[in-house]
């Protein structure tokens, strides 16, 4: 999994601060998560082959997560896209996008599917052989979901030394990797565990923005490899975080700690702060493995 | 009048090419004309005090002229604006903006007035002591208006030498500038023409984008000081201009010539061209006083 931060700031777009958008690449898939105004320009800037995006996930319908979507869809049309596009987002997103396209008599020449969300329970949105994607219900001023991307366990790893020693015919290698017991050259069955190694544990990425401090998400994101959690405010503005239903860096770290995630990525910084290192400092008092999102930064998961 | 080109390109926003938006400053007024995606970022970049904008004119509801509007309105709210805002644009604009604000539960804390347009005849949109603003019906794939900004004639200019010679009391200067005949020191009436000079002719600016070649606009823009006319294509793509209801640089120049405007400003270039000088070259074969719009460029009218 490779995560590119397309925009990591909150509220209004500024010249050097783009509202939320991320690209998650998972074995050939290119998923776009949120799409603030100007996202399409950022995608070009970071040389992301955005025609490959087939699934877009919108957390909620505040402008800094959503106002860039209609422009991106229009650009797909102008570029002659023919691959279908799936958009997952809160109920209302379909009407908002289609109304604007209709007003401009802009009809896409590709299939556009809207998957409108309104459940307050986790919902499976997408699944294939590689991964599953599930909503993470969040608590914000409007209906909001995070998204959990979970890779599936890979094939078992062939213990080359062992299969050679036991003289297992290479035609059995594929079955071996799939976890089956297979015969050796004498026809005796060999237990799979004796000739394979565990694959590396499947990776997962949880995107949680925007949300107030919400312990209800912990069971769902337990042991996630990487957690992106919004941290709009520093501790000195905890009251403002409460009022606006956002989180502080410290609160994000508390969630990370309680969910025992591999590492925590902070973002969605309020424009009132100049030095983002303070977000990291405050979070690290609670959870050490904390990193800062930054426009254009790439994280290997 | 001072015109700032905020964005002069067509279709999709790119890193170095912003879709249409212009700021026209007229004696304290700051008018925004069109508002493609990313306009608010451009306004910050060019250090335009955009909180002063009270009137926004949207030519038509194609994304490259309109997708930045909802974000700008949201930013006005975030910045705590309290001055009312007037938006003039095609019917449908109100629903498109209000639906998006409503989905995000974003209610402006200032008064937002929509003036929806659907007439195919020129309409007076705004008038005060300084200027009038009228629609220029254009021909495009969707309902589109240009906008004509006409300054009103200024006060007559006092001929200082003459008023001194005739010993006119300074308390009469204001009346003199307003065009009245006034008495000299002996009480004899002096004709206004004898003691004043004509003010400089009132300036005007016509914004015409997007449109196919349309001679019907000529009577309305006759003798305009500056005409901005879209020139999406070069002559070699005249067929494409016809098909998409845009203009070539040469066609823009023909309109400028027939309307005997002071000068012509080209913009709305298609992304297919690298060298915009060719637009100027082709236009100048017809109309010499042609300039090229460029993001960030300022033109004194």
**ipTM score for this prediction:** 0.91
**What's residue A250's pLDDT?**
98
Q: From the list A62, A71, A79, which residue is nearest B63 (CB)?
A: A71
Distance CA A66, CA A93 (A): 9
Pairing, β B182-183 against β B157-158: unpaired
Q: From the list B75, B92, B105, which residue is nearest A142 (CB)?
A: B105
- Check if the beta carbon of residue B292 is closer than 8 Å to that of residue B269: no
Query: Does position A233 have pLDDT exceeding 90, yes or no?
Result: yes
Q: Would you call A296 an interface residue with chain B, using a CB distance cutoff of 8 Å?
A: no
Short-list A213, A218, A172, CA closest to A195: A172
Q: Which CATH number fits the domain B2-154+200-300, given the four candidates 3.40.30.10, 3.60.15.10, 3.40.50.620, 1.10.357.10?
A: 3.60.15.10
Question: Are residues B104 and A37, on separate chains, in Cβ contact within 8 Å?
Answer: no
Question: Are residues A13 and B71, on separate chains, in Cβ contact within 8 Å?
Answer: yes
SS3 A253: helix
Question: Are residues B63 and A100, on separate chains, in Cβ contact within 8 Å?
Answer: yes
**What's residue A107's pLDDT?**
87
- DSSP label at B141? S
- Check if the beta carbon of residue A227 is closer than 8 Å to that of residue A221: yes
CA distance A165 to chain B (A): 59
Partners of residue B104 in chain A, C-beta under 8 Å: 60-63, 66, 142
SS3 A155: coil
Q: What is the mean pLDDT of residues B49-55?
A: 97
By annotation, the residues of A acting in catalysis are 64
Digit-coded pLDDT (tens) for B102-161: 999 988 989 999 999 999 999 999 999 999 999 999 999 999 999 999 999 989 999 999
Distance CA B42, CA B46 (A): 6
| Length of chain B counted residue by residue | 301
Q: Would you call B106 an interface residue with chain A, using a CB distance cutoff of 8 Å?
A: yes
Distance CA A253, CA A269 (A): 15
What beta strand segments (E) does B110-165 contain?
Answer: 112-117, 124-127, 131-137, 145-151, 157-158
**What's residue B200's pLDDT?**
87
Question: Are residues A62 and B92, on separate chains, in Cβ contact within 8 Å?
Answer: no
Question: Are residues B70 and A68, on separate chains, in Cβ contact within 8 Å?
Answer: no
CA distance B1 to chain A (A): 27
Write down the catalytic residue from B34, B64, B210, B295.
B64
Question: Are residues B61 and A104, on separate chains, in Cβ contact within 8 Å?
Answer: yes
SS3 B291: strand
**What's residue A247's pLDDT?**
98
Q: Would you call A93 an interface residue with chain B, using a CB distance cutoff of 8 Å?
A: yes
Q: Would you call A38 an interface residue with chain B, using a CB distance cutoff of 8 Å?
A: yes
Distance CA B20, CA B67 (A): 10
**What's residue A16's pLDDT?**
85
Short-list B161, B171, B255, B176, CA closest to B208: B255
Query: Does position A154 have pLDDT exceeding 90, yes or no?
Result: no
> Which of B104, B118, B141 to substitute to test the interface with A, most A CBs within 10 Å?
B104
Burial class (CB in 10 A: 0-12, 13-18, 19+), A173: middle
CA distance B140 to chain A (A): 11
Distance CA A301, CA A223 (A): 13
SS3 A265: strand
Partners of residue A80 in chain B, C-beta under 8 Å: none
**What's residue A28's pLDDT?**
86
Partners of residue A11 in chain B, C-beta under 8 Å: 75, 78
**What's residue A91's pLDDT?**
98
Distance CA B153, CA A201 (A): 78
Q: Would you call B45 an interface residue with chain A, using a CB distance cutoff of 8 Å?
A: yes
Pairing, β A29-33 against β B21-26: unpaired
**What's residue A200's pLDDT?**
87
**What's residue A204's pLDDT?**
98
* Percent of chain A surpassing pLDDT 90: 93
Q: From the list B11, B70, B142, which residue is nearest A63 (CB)?
A: B70
- The pair of structure tokens assigned to B186 is 């002996």
- Residue extent(s) of CATH 3.60.15.10 domains in chain A: 2-154+200-300
Partners of residue A106 in chain B, C-beta under 8 Å: 62-63
CA distance A52 to chain B (A): 18
Question: Are residues A61 and B104, on separate chains, in Cβ contact within 8 Å?
Answer: yes
Q: What is the mean pLDDT of chain A?
A: 96
Q: What is the mean pLDDT of residues A35-56?
A: 97
Q: Would you call B38 an interface residue with chain A, using a CB distance cutoff of 8 Å?
A: yes
Question: Are residues B104 and A40, on separate chains, in Cβ contact within 8 Å?
Answer: no
Q: Name the β-bridge partners of A149.
A: A133, A205
Q: Of chain B residues 127-156, which have a CB less than 8 A from chain A?
A: 141-142
Partners of residue B63 in chain A, C-beta under 8 Å: 70-71, 74, 100, 104, 106
Query: Does position A206 have pLDDT exceeding 90, yes or no?
Result: yes
Digit-coded pLDDT (tens) for A252-270: 999 999 999 999 999 999 9
Of the pLDDT bands very low, low, confident and very high (cuts 50, 70, 90), residue B232 is: very high
CA distance A295 to chain B (A): 14
- DSSP label at B4? E
Question: Are residues B90 and A68, on separate chains, in Cβ contact within 8 Å?
Answer: no
Digit-coded pLDDT (tens) for B5-38: 999 999 999 888 899 999 999 998 999 999 999 9
Partners of residue B105 in chain A, C-beta under 8 Å: 141-142
Alpha carbon A117 to its chain's center: 17
- Which residues have CB under 8 Å from B273's CB, separation 6+? B234, B279
Q: How many CA atoms lie within 13 A of A267 on its CB side?
A: 28
**What's residue B107's pLDDT?**
87
Please give the helix or strand (H or E) that residue A267 lies within, else none.
strand A263-267
What beta strand segments (E) does B79-224 contain?
Answer: 85-90, 112-117, 124-127, 131-137, 145-151, 157-158, 182-183, 189-190, 196-197, 204-208
Across the A:B interface, residue pairs with CB atoms under 8 Å apart total 106
**What's residue A15's pLDDT?**
84
Q: How many CB atoms are closer than 10 A to CB A43?
A: 25
The dihedrals phi and psi of A25, each to the nearest 5 degrees, come to -105, 125
* Percent of chain B surpassing pLDDT 90: 94
Q: What is the mean pLDDT of residues B64-91?
A: 97
CA distance B84 to chain A (A): 20
Distance CA B31, CA B50 (A): 9
- Check if the beta carbon of residue B245 is closer than 8 Å to that of residue B139: yes
Q: What is the mean pLDDT of residues B27-56?
A: 96
């Amino acid at each position: 999994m490779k995560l590119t931060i397309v925009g990591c700031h909150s509220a209004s777009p500024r010249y050097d601060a783009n509202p939320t958008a991320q690209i998650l690449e998972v074995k050939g898939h290119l998923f776009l998560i949120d799409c603030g105004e100007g996202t399409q320009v950022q995608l070009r800037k970071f040389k992301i082959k955005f025609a490959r995006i087939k699934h877009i996930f919108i957390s909620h319908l505040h402008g800094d997560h959503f106002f860039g979507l209609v422009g991106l869809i229009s650009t797909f049309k102008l570029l002659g896209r023919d691959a279908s596009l799936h958009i997952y987002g809160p109920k209302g997103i379909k009407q908002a996008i289609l109304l604007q396209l209709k007003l401009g008599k802009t009809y896409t020449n590709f299939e556009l599917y809207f998957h409108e969300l309104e459940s307050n329970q986790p919902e499976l949105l997408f699944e294939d052989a590689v991964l599953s994607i599930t909503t993470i219900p969040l608590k914000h001023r409007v209906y909001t979901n995070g998204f959990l991307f979970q890779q599936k366990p890979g094939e078992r790893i062939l213990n080359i030394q062992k299969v050679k020693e036991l003289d297992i015919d290479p035609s059995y290698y594929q079955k071996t990797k799939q976890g089956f017991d297979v015969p050796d050259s004498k026809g005796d069955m060999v237990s799979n565990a004796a000739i394979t190694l565990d694959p590396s544990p499947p990776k997962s990425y949880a995107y949680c923005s925007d949300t107030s401090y919400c312990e209800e998400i912990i069971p769902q994101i337990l042991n996630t490899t990487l957690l992106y959690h919004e941290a709009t405010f520093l501790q000195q503005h905890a009251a403002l975080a409460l009022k606006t239903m956002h989180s502080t860096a410290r609160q994000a770290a508390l969630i990370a700690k309680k969910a025992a995630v591999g590492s925590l990525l902070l973002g969605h910084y309020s424009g009132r702060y100049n030095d983002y290192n303070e977000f990291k400092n405050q979070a690290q008092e609670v959870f050490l493995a904390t990193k800062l999102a930054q426009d254009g930064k790439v994280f290997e998961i």
